Chain A
Amino acid sequence: MKPPPFSYHDPRTVAEAVSLLSTLENPKLLAGGQSLMPMLNMRFVLPDHVIDLGKIDGLAYIREAPSKEGGNALEIGAMTRQRDIEFSELIAAKHPLLREGILNVGHRQTRNRGTIGGSLCHLDPAAEQVLVCLASDAIVTAAGPNGERAIPFREFPLAYMTPNLEPDEMLIGIKIPLWPAGHGYSFLEFARRHGDFAVVSVAALLDVDAGGIIKRAAVALGGVAAVPLRMDAVEARLVGQKASEELFRDAAEICRAIDAVADVHATVEYRQHLAAVLTRRALVQALAKVKR
């Protein structure tokens, strides 16, 4: 239960970190340490080099900026601590779904150290920040030896806990295009205990016009499969329809067909059931939060 021996590096710039990543044999990046440290202690990972990103300036920020795609976007540095996201007034006002998700991440002690970028790259299929980024069409930026690359979050999870990053690339920033003011949102999860990874989690966003017609919907599910799922079929069933509990029930039933995984916590059928129930509840909650 002690970390294996490794060489420790604490670069001061992204360029230095990328250069270490591309030259060292078997390196591992250390962000907030709330996933990598347990894996080191239990020797699930045996890196020869640990590159600590904690001393690089300029990777921890939360700000709103105009987006190339139109409208404004929330920009979050990869090394921003989960605690700072939890207490950010900007995020509470502009992207409350992220705050709701964060409140389900671990505990105060782990959120004080854990970073959003670390969680996205660890890519646990039940991770809350991963789910919020998927539901919000986030765009992440990776830095590598040939410069920076923007990756739409839908293309980021490649397989179980495998992010779309080259071995010599590192995540540096997250951009989340903002939904219109007054949009509906809900984050729900079923976990055995507060702070545990979810058995199933759901993130939902709704934009509804004055007549109650759904203009835009986003639904993403975590914990059900090897990667978090964006539920395009559910969204297609919702958009253009008048919002109602019957519609939500009907759309959520689509989740019973998910190719879900079974493990020690839950069977396939139970996960499908939770997915449908939680999706319906999240849509009901999201609608109740719409402010026009």
Chain B
Amino acid sequence: MESRKITVTVNGQAHTRDVETRMTLADFLRHDLGMTGTHVGCEHGVCGACTILLDGRTARSCLTLAVQTDGHAIDTIEGMAPNPKDKTAPMHPLQEAFRDNHALQCGFCTPGMLTTIIELLRDNPEPSADEVRIAISGNLCRCTGYQTIVAATLDAAKRLKAEGRKP
């Protein structure tokens, strides 16, 4: 099997590894870096569970090869809460809004939803409910019926505005 040495910055920290050239970014994050927050659902770009931010833009990590990200920056769900080790510290306002609005049940789609919505809120800090629905149209959720996810997103937009914070 062919492999290559790559250096990828994940959530601000550089990682250098030898990876098989055929390895997807999703498998690299989960298996090589142990960051299992990025979930793998369909493995062919339909479900959106593996969505990460690549140089600040969402991408399906199952449709990206790890070798393609050499020298690039990745943000995953692990980097979202400011202080993930402290269970009592507040999470990101979007995560708080998800919890308060019951926007997750099993949680499988949640990492992909959150990364997708972060990009939406950065581009469009006050989206309409319709715009939220279009933004999450590439992310499947089989529990919530999406209603609470839309509500949580609108709530998060309000919280961020009230706090004067960027997503």
Task: Give me the interface of A with B, judged by CB distance under 8 Å.
Answer: 1-8, 10, 30, 33-34, 37-38, 40-42, 50, 52, 54, 83, 106-110, 112-113, 193-195
Contact = CB atoms under 8 A, between A and B. Distances in A.
A8 B43 contact: no
A162 B21 CA distance: 27
13 contacts: A2-B22, A3-B24, A8-B2, A34-B60, A37-B63, A38-B45, A52-B65, A106-B138, A108-B116, A109-B51, A112-B54, A194-B134, A194-B137
Given A6-B22, A33-B65, 15 more contacts: A1-B43, A3-B22, A3-B24, A8-B65, A10-B67, A30-B65, A34-B60, A41-B63, A52-B67, A108-B119, A108-B138, A110-B138, A112-B59, A113-B64, A195-B137
Given A83-B57, A110-B63, A112-B58, A1 B21 contact: no
Contact of B116 (A2, A50, A106, A109): A109
B138 A107 contact: yes
Contact of B68 (A7, A42, A54, A83): A54
Given A5-B2, A195-B137, A37 B62 contact: yes
Contacts of A1: 43-44
Contacts of A107: 48, 137-138
A195 B65 CA distance: 23
A34 B135 contact: no
- Of residues A52, A106, A113, which shows the largest number of chain B Cβ atoms within 10 Å of its Cβ? A113
B57 to A, nearest CB: 4
Given A8-B67, A38-B45, A108-B119, A2 B59 contact: no
Given A3-B22, A8-B65, A113 B27 contact: no
B22 A34 contact: no
Interface of B is mostly: mixed
Interface residues of B, number: 31
A34 B128 CA distance: 28
A10 B62 CA distance: 19
Contacts of A83: 57
Contact of B59 (A7, A10, A54, A109): A109
Interface of B: 1-2, 4, 20-22, 24, 27, 43-45, 48, 51, 54, 57-60, 62-65, 67-68, 116, 119-120, 134-135, 137-138
Nearest to A107: B138
Contacts of A54: 68
B138 A41 contact: no
Nearest to B40: A1
Contacts of A8: 2, 4, 21-22, 65, 67
Contact of B64 (A37, A42, A106, A194): A37
Contact of B138 (A4, A33, A109): A109
Contacts of B57: 83, 112
Contacts of A40: 22
A34 B24 CA distance: 13
Nearest to B112: A109
